Amino acid sequence: MYNAKAYAAASATSPFASTRIARRDPTEHDVQIEILFCGICHSDLHLVRGEWSGLMPAVYPCIPGHEIVGRVTKVGSAVTKFKRGDLAGVGCMVDSDGTCPECQAGLEQFCPNMILTYNSPDKHLGGVTYGGYSDSIVVDERFVLRVPSNLNLAGTAPLLCAGITTYSPMRRWGVSKGKKVGVVGLGGLGHMGVKFARAFGAHVVVFTTSPNKKEDALRLGADEVVVSRNANEMQKHAASFDFILDAVSADHDVNAYLQLLRRDGILTLVGAPAKPLAVVAFGLILGRKSLSGSLIGGIPETQEMLDFCGAHNITADVEVIPIQKLNEAYERLLKSDVKYRFSIDMASLKST
């Protein structure tokens, strides 16, 4: 074991503070990574503040962070994919059983024994896993991703969650040229959704509650922007969408989007507000529409997404912050005041 520096929350209401944690020495299949950047996902905030306590209670001290990029510092004797000095990425998962049908299908996120990067039982050290708000992490090589060398690293970190979470459902539902695609909520996930939908050739419409994000939405690749609180603007798009991705983190009315789908259209939720949604049955029945969900993506698809981003030069638009600004960043995230992902520069942890 060795000591790593980290930032932890001691309770749902405590601010983050500097701490030291134990990490395991790499075993034969492990990769040790010096973390260079870690994105801040709204899921980190939901979890650490106890908003998902019914489904997933947080264990304190809690160290979130699942959008990790860094450099390999050590590998175990049986590791084949990585060597010291390589760039590496880690997303939301660090382990799974590897034998169940989900794992065999490359959908490790649905494995009943999947281990999350933070707040899951740690089979090596006991307690729970600790995430990327830290200067290093040790992960089984099966869950370490190759990072294209041409991409900006601060903007690459968010691909490990916001990227794959938007890429996967768009691939699954055939977002492509000739399709009209909506993205609801221009946050960390939403802005990646816009970039991918654009790269796949779709006609992209952004729905936002923030009129001041209009110009950015167009710059990020949207063809049209709708301020969703304006009923007239919404009505103009009635019954016209093939696919809508809902990436909203807070309580909102999904019926307003169901009525924008054409026959057989699909509304996929990736946003995970704490409160249950109310759905009007006729909103689905009329037009034979589908409401679905999607959870990150499996390891093979995450690698495919990173390679796609390397080939198309796609990264997140980030505000790079020192870790000392973590508490402030959380408050701004709650106000939808980030363009469009915070990425923590872990060099700032050296001075703590």
Among 6, 296, 305, 321, binds ligand NAP (CB under 6 A): 296
Q: Do 95 and 115 contact (CB within 8 A), yes or no?
A: yes
Among 4, 35, 38, 43, binds ligand NAP (CB under 6 A): 43
Please choose, out of 100-108, 254-262, 264-272, 317-325, the segment that lies near ligand NAP by the rule CB under 6 A. Answer: 264-272
Q: Which is nearer to ligand NAP, 32 or 43 (CB)?
A: 43
Query: Which among 102, 110, 340, 61 has a CA at the least distance from the CA of 212?
Result: 340
Q: Does 205 bind ligand NAP (CB under 6 A)?
A: no
Q: Which DSSP category does 325 fall into? A: G
To the nearest whole angstrom, how small is the minimum distance from the Cβ of residue 22 to ligand NAP? 27
**Is residue 106 left, alpha or beta, with left meaning phi > 0 and alpha meaning psi from -120 to 50?**
left
The H-assigned helical ranges of the chain are 42-48, 101-104, 153-156, 162-172, 188-199, 214-220, 231-235, 255-258, 281-285, 299-312, 326-334
Q: Does 161 bind ligand NAP (CB under 6 A)?
A: yes
To the nearest whole angstrom, how small is the minimum distance from the Cβ of residue 321 to ligand NAP? 14
Cβ-closest position to ligand NAP: 187
Q: Does 248 bind ligand NAP (CB under 6 A)?
A: yes
Q: Does 221 bind ligand NAP (CB under 6 A)?
A: no
314 touches, from Zn ion, ligand NAP, none (C-beta below 5 to 8 Å by class): none
229's CB contacts (< 8 A; 6+ apart) are: 209
Q: Which is nearer to Zn ion, 91 or 310 (CB)?
A: 91
3-state per-residue secondary structure call for 80-132: CCCCCCCEEEECCEEECCCCCHHHHCCCHHHCCCCEECCCCECCCCCCECCCC
Degrees, nearest 5: CA angle 14-7-21: 115
Q: Does 333 bind ligand NAP (CB under 6 A)?
A: yes
Query: Which among 134, 48, 153 has a CA at the least distance from the CA of 352?
Result: 134
Q: Do 41 and 57 contact (CB within 8 A), yes or no?
A: no
Query: Which among 295, 292, 297 has a CA at the least distance from the CA of 308?
Result: 297
Q: Which is nearer to Zn ion, 162 or 204 (CB)?
A: 162
- Burial (CB count <10 Å: 0-12, 13-18, 19+), residue 332: middle
Q: Does 145 bind ligand NAP (CB under 6 A)?
A: no
Contacts with ligand NAP: how many residues (CB under 6 A)? 31
Please choose, out of 21-29, 128-136, 171-179, 183-191, the segment that lies near ligand NAP by the rule CB under 6 A. Answer: 183-191
Q: Which is nearer to ligand NAP, 136 or 249 (CB)?
A: 249
To the nearest whole angstrom, how small is the minimum distance from the Cβ of residue 220 to ligand NAP? 11
Q: Do 349 and 323 contact (CB within 8 A), yes or no?
A: yes
Q: Which is nearer to Zn ion, 118 or 241 (CB)?
A: 118
Q: Does 250 bind ligand NAP (CB under 6 A)?
A: yes
To the nearest whole angstrom, how small is the minimum distance from the Cβ of residue 225 to ligand NAP? 9
Compute the radius of gyration of the chain from its Cα atoms.
20
Query: Which among 76, 75, 98 has a CA at the least distance from the CA of 86?
Result: 75
Q: Give the phi and the psi of residue 321 in degrees, each rounded to 5.
A: -130, 150
Among 17, 56, 272, 320, binds ligand NAP (CB under 6 A): 272
To the nearest whole angstrom, how small is the minimum distance from the Cβ of residue 43 to Zn ion? 4
Among 69, 116, 247, 323, binds ligand NAP (CB under 6 A): 247
Positions in the binding site for Zn ion (CB under 5 A)? 41, 43, 161
Binding site for ligand NAP (CB under 6 A): 41-43, 46, 161-162, 165, 185-190, 208-210, 213, 247-250, 252, 270-273, 294-296, 333, 336
